[in-house]
Amino acid sequence: MTRAGLAALAVLALGLSACSSSSADGGSSELTVFAAASLQRPFEQIADDFEADHPGVTVRFSFAGSSDLAAQLVDGAPADVLATADERTMGTVEEAGLLAGSPQAFATNSMTVVVPKDNPARIRTLSDLQGDVDLVLCAPQVPCGAAAERVEEASGLTFAPVSEEAKVTDVLGKVTSGEADAGIVYVTDAEGSANVGTVEIPDEDNTTTTCPVAALAGSEHRDLADELVAAIRTDAAGDGEGHLEAAGFAAP
């Protein structure tokens, strides 16, 4: 084959290689979102809508206790967006210089007592959580545990939990399985479960937590991360049509 022919083949091969690489990538992007366990249901719905509006984009979640997520990020775990169940936990990530901008409040939550459907301990009021009751709470460093401590302080009661869990869904799981007589969880978690009963916490004893969201400075897809943050905030302001409001979250 002539030198000109070989050169033409080389150019063709390079062109095919470039086309193959472009096809393999397909313009696809993957966003990793670290989010509090209490946000799982509405966030998965928001992600479905986001993916439908952004062909080729996949949103991957890591749901866990907010303090665990913050610790993972500080230790170097990669992610694009962080949403926590309270502002204090988000503050630890901000102080570490890991946020791309100021965190944005998008929802609020409050607390309630959950009991098994048959309520074997006959819990009727918040004060019934004292005494011979198998009470489960989140650990104090977790937002739902810190909120339970504020309820305890405001009510003047003394709680003696038999276990302290790393995330609110673990508290809910122990109550629904009958391993515990009661637990204190977010109102939204109770509303999302058909397997528990609830005991209302009086307004004067209850507490409200604010959920913030932010894009992370280390994101490789900053524009998309910012768009997802905006989509979360837009859903929260959905005037009765948003996934967050449907799940029981209130506006900040």
pLDDT digits (tens, 9 = 90+) for 73-111: 999 999 999 999 999 999 999 999 999 999 999 999 999
The pLDDT assigned to 27 comes to 65
Phi and psi at 119, nearest 5°, equal 45, 60
- Residue ranges for the known binding site are 38, 66, 168, 186
- pLDDT at residue 237 in the model: 86
Q: What distance in Å separates the CA atoms of residue 34 and residue 24, rounded to the nearest whole number?
A: 27
Average pLDDT over residues 60-74: 97
Secondary structure class of 158 (helix, strand, coil): coil
Tell me the pTM: 0.83
Confidence category of residue 189, pLDDT binned at 50, 70, 90: very high
Q: Which residues are annotated as a binding site for molybdate?
A: 38, 66, 168, 186
- Of the two residues 138 and 21, the one the predictor is more confident about is 138
Domains assigned to the chain:
28-108+210-246 (3.40.190.10), 110-208 (3.40.190.10)
What average pLDDT score do residues 41-66 get?
Answer: 97
pLDDT at 125 over 60: yes
**DSSP for 97-154, written as a single string:** T-BSS--EEEEEEEEEEEEETT-TT---SGGGGSSS--EEEE-TTSHHHHHHHHHHHH
**What pLDDT score does 240 carry?**
64
Residue 192 above 80 pLDDT?
A: yes
CA distance 203 to 111: 10
Confidence of residue 193 (pLDDT cuts 50, 70, 90): confident
> Facing residues of 107 across strands?
211
H helices then E strands: how many in the chain?
Answer: 9, 9
Band (pLDDT 50/70/90 cuts) for residue 4 is very low
Q: pLDDT over 70 for what percent of the chain?
A: 88
Beta bridge partners of 82: 34, 214
Going by pLDDT thresholds of 50, 70 and 90, the confidence category of residue 131 is confident
Instruction: Give residue for tokens 């994101």.
Output: 219
